[in-house]
Every structure is written in structure tokens, then in C-alpha cells.
Structure 1
């Protein structure tokens, strides 16, 4: 199992340097990925820093870790503009970018960007199709519900053939069907080992309906972790790894069970003070990661 680090919950005290230092430390300590969520307005937990801008900066301060949006709310963005932006990030990072996407849920943010919240699922599907077509590098002609293209070719061809990997986020049936249709992976949040058998069954049915198999998808999730001896800066919306009084053994046990259920990347969302993040990363690297193989 690979481990990643979510950059979202670094708190109000975090500066731009905090984000970049955390990403660089994660790479140095052997983590696989750094991830950033997608919020536009104040009032959400953690940072509202733009994920594409942040990950572009992280790309210049790292050389190995994957850069993952977790997740980008696709309906907020014009797909042609976004396709070129993300192709540029893929090129600048040397092919390290992974697009994690979701349909979103925040009605206030949808209203602020002038996008109807009630058509977000259909809009997400169409935009994913546009991204996929444009990233092939050939002229695209298509007529859709939310826009059309007439022989349009993307300005920047991605380094990764066919475009960056696409991890589709969400636990709903619609999200699983979207992953089966468009995804190279499925991306969850707060998923527990006990929930994985049913989720795998539903994903398997969805992929088979689209002529694929579950083996075609990389399975990843974001999990909450508060290392022993560190007080969280916020409540944990999902069951934390290792329980509310975690130990090395209990955290390793939970991660091992997720690995056994097919999760290949667990990204750690650690709601700890910014000045304790380095200690938290070091604890994971020294105490947990060696047990995961």
C-alpha cells in the first residue's frame, strides 16, 4: 500500500511556505502522493487554496510525488480551459499529476459560480467526456448539452498519453457508474475496511456493465489520522485510523485491512496544528510505513 498526505487541513496558521514545506517533507520521507481538495468560499474546514495553483507550485518544489486533486469539483470549471490548465500541469510536473474529480455538493458555491446544482451529475459526465477527448490530442467535434466543439485541438498536449489519470470520487451509485465509465481509478473518503466488501461489489457490477472489470480501476481513499500524543485542531468527520486513541498497532491494522480489501493508496488527512505536521509525518514514516510493505 502507498501512503499519501492531504494538504487540506493545515489550518488558519498555515502560510504558502507551510504547504510547500509539508509537500517537500512528504516526498523526503517516502510518501507517494500529496493531495489538495477544492473549495471556493470561506466556511469549509481547512484551506480554500486553489488546488491547481497549489499543486503547480508543489510540482516545482518536488521531483517524485504524485500531485492529486482530492477532489476537484468539475462542474465549477469550463472544461476546455481546465483541460489546457491540467495538461500544462501534467507537462510541468513530468507526468505526475492525477485528476481526482467529483460532482460536488455545496449549493452556495454552485450559486456563486452561476452553475445550477441540480444538473451537476450530467454536467460532470459531459465535462469528463470533453477532457478525455481533448487529451487525445486530436481535433474534437462534439455537440453536448452544456457546450459544443467544432474541430478544436487542445493547446497543450499532456505528457501522459491519453491525459492524466482520472480518479472519480464518491460513494453513490452515480459516482460508481461514473468511475466505471470514465475513470482509471475510484477515490473515496473515510471508507472503512468493513464497508469495502459492499463497495467492491457495487463497483464490480458497475464496471461489468461498461465492459470493464474492477481490476481496471485503482482504488484509493482519504482517511483521517491523528497520531498519538497530538491534539487535533478540529473534529474528525470520519472514523479515524486506529480509533480515537490510536497506537502504531491499531493504525497499521486498519491500513492493512484496507490494503487487503484492494486499496492501493491511502491518503492521510491529519487535522493537526501546522507546527506539528512535520512530527506527524515523521511518526507515520518511522512507525507505520515500514509495516505496510
Structure 2
């Protein structure tokens, strides 16, 4: 099982370069970073974990800039977002950022995407909350038109692009959604809670699921597999990557029994010494 990590990198934590080097030196497989552009201080949206929202949510580094730094000082470390708030981006610009990081890293990027939880943050980006799922699907389709090997136009309800020269292309090879229907771009995992809408989206336009916290997988993974196969996807291609996990040997052993091949462990949003101590503790799982 591959052991990756995630962390809220901020202006007060360990740096991306120091962390990336330390992860690769110790044998961890990857680094995933979350995204928040800002957190409105006046809001009605509850924190996803309950209680007060931790300060790091409003201090996060831009994930693509930080992952670019991590790519520059490593050779093998896989890089990912967890998650990119696709609805809040201009998809043409986001397509360029994603392709650039994948190109510069030699194809090491995983694009974790999702729908978000902070209504006020999304509203400041012009996102009408009930439309966010449809916007994500539409933006991903537009981005994949730009990643296609030949100039490809796209017109959808929330964006359009003319057939264009758009380079660099992502390094990762296309996969098949169905015979004759390629999936362009880096490996894409959708984050979120188990449910019919989420599983339908995963089967429709992703490589797998990024379940936050990794709870309840005994019941949910078989359901996702049925939805995946019903959509005509190859069973061996589905990837489930539990995310932001607090590890113990029993939990990781259970994931292995479910056929899970990668897990992302949660690091503290802290300065270098504390983060490195946690990495040394987590090394027992490598």
C-alpha cells in the first residue's frame, strides 16, 4: 500500500520544499494539498468538522504554486490536490495550471476535485450554490477539450472554448471512460461523502473516489463498484484513495482487505519540527 500525506500548508508552517524533500527521503509516496482562496469571516456555513473553523483554512497556500515548488525539488514524489474547488475557477486558466504542473513534474499529478462546503466562499467567486455540481462537470469537460491532442471546441452551460492550440498537454496518457471515449488529463479523483450523485459523477468522468476520513468504506465501496461497472467502466480501473486519515495498523489493514492500494495520512498544520516528528511516527506504516 502506498502511503501519501496531506497538510494545510500555510505562511506559518513547514515550507513546501522542505516537506517534499523529507517525504521523498523517507519513502512516502505523495503529497496532497487542499485549496481555499479565502474564508469570509461573516458566514452562515458551519465548519465541516463542527465548532470553530481552524485558522489554517484562511491561510492556505495556493496548491498549484506549492506543488510546483515540491515538484522542483523531488524526482519520484507524487503530487496531488485534495481538493481543487473546480467551480470557483475559470476553467481555461485552471486547465493551464494543471497541465503545467503535470508537465513540469513528469506526469506526477493527481487532480483531486470536489464541490466545496463554504457557501460564502463560493458566492464570492460567482457560484450559485445549487449549480456547483453541474458547474464542476461542465468545467472538467471544457478542460479536457483543451487537453485533447488535437484542437477541440467545447460549449456547455457554464463555459465554452473555441478549438485552440493549448500546450503543454498533461503527460499522463488517456484512459477510457468507454470504448472510443477517452479521458484526457491527469488522474482525477472526486472527493465527497458517499451517495448516488457522487458515485454517478465518479463513474461518469473520473478515475476514482477520494473519501474524506475513510469511514464506512465496507458498505460504500461495493456500492461504488456496482455503479462503476453499470456505467461500463472496467472494474480494475476504479481507484479508491482514503484521504486525511488518522492511521492505525488495524485501519490500514482493513483498507488493504478492501483492495485499496493508496491512503493519504493527515499531517498537522505546523512548523517543521512537529511535522517531521509526525513523519517519523508515520514511517511505521511504510
- Which residue in the other structure is 1:238 paired with? none
1:103 is matched with which residue? 115
Query: Deviation at 1:272?
Result: 6.2
Residue 252 of structure 1 aligns with which residue?
Answer: 249
- How do residues 3-82 of structure 1 correspond to structure 2 at under 5 angstroms? 3-8=3-8, 13-14=12-13, 18-42=15-39, 45=54, 46=56, 47-82=59-94
* Cα distance per residue 1:5-49 (max 9 Å; x no partner): 1121x577315xx33212211111000000100111147533411
TM-score (norm 1): 0.82
Q: Spell out structure 1 runs of 4+ moving beyond 6 A.
A: none
After superposition, what is the alpha-carbon deviation per residue over 1:78-97, rounded to whole angstroms, capped at 9, x for unaligned? 11111111111111111111
Q: Which position in structure 2 is the counterpart of 1:280? A: 278
- Paired with 2:33 and 2:22, the residues of 1 have a C-alpha distance of 16
Alignment of 1:106-121 (within 5 A): 106-121=118-133
Unaligned runs of 5+ in 1: 226-240, 242-250
Q: Secondary structure at the match of 1:222?
A: coil
Counterparts of 2:24 and 2:156 in 1: how far apart (Å)?
41
Residue 150 of structure 1 corresponds to: 162
- Counterpart secondary structure, 2:214: coil
Can you give the 5+ residue segments of structure 2 that lack an aligned partner in the other structure?
A: 42-52, 174-183
Q: Verify the 8 A CA contact 1:137 1:154 in the aligned structure 2.
A: no
Distance verdict in 2 for CA 1:88–1:199, change over 3 Å: same
RMSD: 1.9
Give the one of 178, 196, 207 matched to 1:173.
196
Structure 1 Cα separation of the partners of residues 116 and 63 of structure 2: 15
CA distance in 1, matches of 2:81, 2:124: 21
